[in-house]
């Protein structure tokens, strides 16, 4: 199988590339390195430095691919609140460019990286795929628009389209930035001896899923014959932010204080995935328990900190 991976230099994208290579698939990476890292690129994998908003570049790069993994995106609620037009440009129009290129190339399958953010504040837990979508931020709206494009193209043009709705992904390779998820922020600060700040009372819950499980879900999505639709990718369990802070403090060599700040705009209160559809249709089963995954991540982050930027 020949795979074309947009965003393949990113945290999740590079893990998907590695998983595909382990399965013996051929891969080409397409990334503009805005949020991806050059060090994530495998020197043996062809790399195209390009932007998904450049339709002609996408068409040229995608030729000959059997499957497209579309992970390139402007990621995060905070970034979207600061620059909503960029989210729309990258996540909606960029996705449309990728789909048009796939249609022109006669590509058989598109696997789209979506987000649990499209659900917004859920009325029922665990979250099933057919629950109402109430996106609360420009980022979530743009990701839902991308989903709708993928599923429409699947119905219109006969390509198989799979949307993977990630819950809170964490793990080795996830570097800290101001738009990042809570785990890399907490781990980075804890390793530096800094206080951890929880926004709100900390009893909000999240479904944390390890990067190894997410990469496996992506590979299975392409290998599942005759399957289209949207699937939750999570652990199927909920953990409070207070519990995550405690686990991280316990995993780090230096004990740090934990304080609380005001709640953040756009944050949902509770989230937990119903993953039965992914289990049944894709054969997906999460294998990395949270404490083990955090221990591995803390050790990776300590090694990363010692090696310095690069």
Tell which residue, 299, 285, 126, has the closest CA to residue 210: 285
Scored b (16 or more CB within 10 A) or e, 42-76 reads: eeebebbebbbbebebbbebbeebbbbbbbbbbbb
- Which of 69, 112, 119, 139 is labelled catalytic? 139
Residues 6+ apart with CB under 8 A from 250: none
Enumerate long-range contacts of 128-134, CB under 8 Å, 24 or more apart: 128/232, 128/274, 128/277, 129/165, 129/229, 129/230, 129/231, 129/232, 129/274, 129/277
d(CA 305, CA 147): 36
The answer to whether the beta carbons of residues 204 and 192 sit under 8 Å apart is no
- Please give the structure tokens belonging to residue 182: 């809570």
d(CA 91, CA 87): 6
199 is catalytic: no
The answer to whether the beta carbons of residues 100 and 156 sit under 8 Å apart is no
d(CA 9, CA 32): 9
d(CA 143, CA 91): 6
CA triple 53-90-121, angle to 5 deg: 160
d(CA 227, CA 234): 19
Residues noted as catalytic: 139
């Amino acid at each position: 199988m020949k795979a074309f991976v947009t965003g393949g230099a990113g945290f999740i994208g590079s893990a998907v590339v590695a998983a595909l290579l382990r399965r013996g698939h051929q891969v080409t990476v397409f990334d503009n390195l805005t949020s991806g890292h050059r060090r994530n690129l495998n020197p043996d994998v062809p790399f195209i430095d390009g932007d998904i908003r450049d339709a002609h570049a996408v068409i040229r790069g995608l030729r000959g691919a059997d499957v497209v993994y579309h992970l390139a995106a402007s990621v995060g609620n905070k970034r979207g609140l600061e620059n909503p037009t960029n989210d729309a440009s990258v996540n909606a129009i960029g996705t449309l460019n990728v789909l048009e290129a796939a249609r022109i190339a006669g590509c058989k399958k598109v696997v789209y990286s979506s987000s649990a953010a499209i659900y917004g504040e859920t009325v029922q837990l665990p979250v099933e795929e057919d629950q109402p979508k109430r996106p609360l931020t420009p980022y979530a709206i743009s990701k839902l628009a991308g989903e709708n494009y993928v599923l429409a193209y699947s119905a219109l043009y006969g390509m198989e389209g799979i949307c993977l709705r990630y819950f809170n992904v964490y793990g080795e390779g996830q570097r800290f930035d101001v738009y990042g998820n809570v785990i890399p922020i907490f781990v980075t600060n804890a390793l530096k001896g800094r206080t951890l700040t929880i926004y709100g009372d900390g009893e909000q819950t999240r479904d944390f899923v390890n990067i190894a499980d997410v990469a496996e879900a992506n590979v299975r999505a392409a290998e599942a014959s005759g399957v289209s639709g949207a699937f939750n990718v999570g652990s199927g369990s909920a953990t409070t932010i207070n519990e995550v802070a405690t686990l991280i403090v316990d995993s780090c060599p230096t004990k740090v204080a934990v304080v609380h700040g005001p709640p953040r705009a756009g944050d949902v209160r509770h989230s937990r995935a119903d993953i039965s559809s992914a289990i049944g249709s894709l054969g997906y089963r999460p294998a990395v328990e949270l404490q083990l995954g955090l221990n591995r991540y803390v050790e990776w982050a300590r090694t990363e900190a010692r090696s310095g930027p690069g």
